[in-house]
Amino acid sequence: MLPAAVLKIILRIILSLFLFIVIPILIAFNFSSYPLKLLFIFYLSNAGVLCLLLNQNSKARYQIESKIQDIREKLNIVRADTLKEQKFNEALLAKRERYDNLKKIVEEISQNLDLEYISNSITEIIFSSISNHKGTCLLYLIDKQTQRLSLFKAKKEEEDLVIKTKEGDIFDMWMLRHVTPLLVSDIKKDFRFDSEKLKAQSTMLVSSLISAPLVSENNFLGILRLDNPNPDFYTQDDLRFLVSVSNLGAVAIEGSQLFLKTQELAIRDSLTLVYTKGYLMERLALECERGIRKGAVFSLLMLDIDFFKNYNDEFGHSAGDIVLKRLTENIVNSLKDLNPLVCRFGGEEFCIILEGRDKVSALEIAERLCKIIEKDKIILRRQETSVTVSIGVVAFPGDGLRPDELIAKVDKAMYEAKRKGRNQVCGI
């Protein structure tokens, strides 16, 4: 059985044949003396009507197609506007998230002045929000003594990646010279940098990079940098955000460094610049605790300038200050390989903690120090003179387990050295 649609088409064809062929022929030959002429007129008129209908149909189709095209164009415009708005909203959300991170940075660094904490917060947030933990994030700080860059903090996608450029590479040297934000989209297309030289310097594969200087009140503190092995990884928006973080970070880092300096000044003697008695007692307590916990040994030296009052009486108190400074320099320079903790205990008395040194070793060190100080010549009011010291030596744990025990015994040992004639070492 044929489908209904096919039957409809067949019926329409049959009906059309009947109406336009069979009936006109029957009428023409039965009721007219000029059947062919009548048929010609009939078909000609029908052809005209058909052409008119086709023309109207064509115009209608054209109008419909135009409307469809117009609707499609409007749909494309709406679709493009929607996509544009969607991207704008996504960008807005990304910016909001980034500025929420800025707020987070401000909150975190304002609550803590610890340099380690501040640097870790800054690098973690930008490595997450800008790089999505891809590539590397490096924080370089200026070494105040050498005025060179020093790698302070690093975040890496590959944990086993070794960063060889501890003092910076060609990008960081460029930053040092120009002190301005840097965006490198593709190192191979950037005429400012030699990619071959970079390969020789570093184990990292760098194709794109953004970097911003840490500057506070015209004080250059370091560099904050992100890099990636893929080209075109970073955008101008990324660089602008990095600059914002760098500006905040610079203020926080400078504040932290000033705080550390203030703390350092608080535990340093203003004249000799070695540690104070208060700091000595704190460190001595820590060393005793560590020694008990880990079985470590250390020695404590106490020295006093022999006949120091005579220098003040003969040359004046300013000359006494010169003697104290010169003595401190001799102690620090003579023992610098031993990493000593040198403190001014009071007046002309000094204490020295030597980690990892037993009493026998400490006595030998004290004897050498005593001779070095004696041989050193000091010019006071155009007169050449010298000083001698008496040194007492004790060791942990043999001479005591508490700070007060060690201080009492080393003080006794020092006065024993004075009693025996000064300019010598005594260990009880």
Q: Can you spell out the DSSP letters for 12-44?
A: HHHHHHIIIIIHHHHHHHHH-S-HHHHHHHHHH
CA distance 237 to 249: 18
Average pLDDT over residues 152-168: 86
For residue 414, give both structure tokens. Answer: 């020092």
Residue 44 token pair:
């000609």
pLDDT score recorded for residue 106: 67
What's the pLDDT at 394?
95
pLDDT above 80 for 123: yes
Task: Yes or no: say if 410 and 392 are a contact pair by the CB < 8 Å rule.
Answer: yes
Closest listed residue to residue 273, CA positions, set 325, 331, 346, 200: 325
pLDDT in tens, 185-235: 998 888 888 777 766 666 678 889 999 999 988 789 999 999 999 999 999
Going across the sheet that includes 149-156, the strands are: 149-156, 136-142, 219-228, 208-216, 182-184
What tens digit of pLDDT does each residue of 301-313 get? 999 999 888 877 7
In the chain, the percentage of residues whose pLDDT exceeds 90 is 39
pLDDT digits (tens, 9 = 90+) for 10-34: 787 777 767 667 777 777 677 666 6
Integer Cα distance of 224 and 137 in angstroms: 8
Contact 387, 373 (CB under 8 A): yes
* Tokens representing residue 20 in the block: 């336009």
Domains belonging to the chain, first-starting first, are 110-257 (3.30.450.40), 277-427 (3.30.70.270)
> pTM for the complete prediction?
0.57
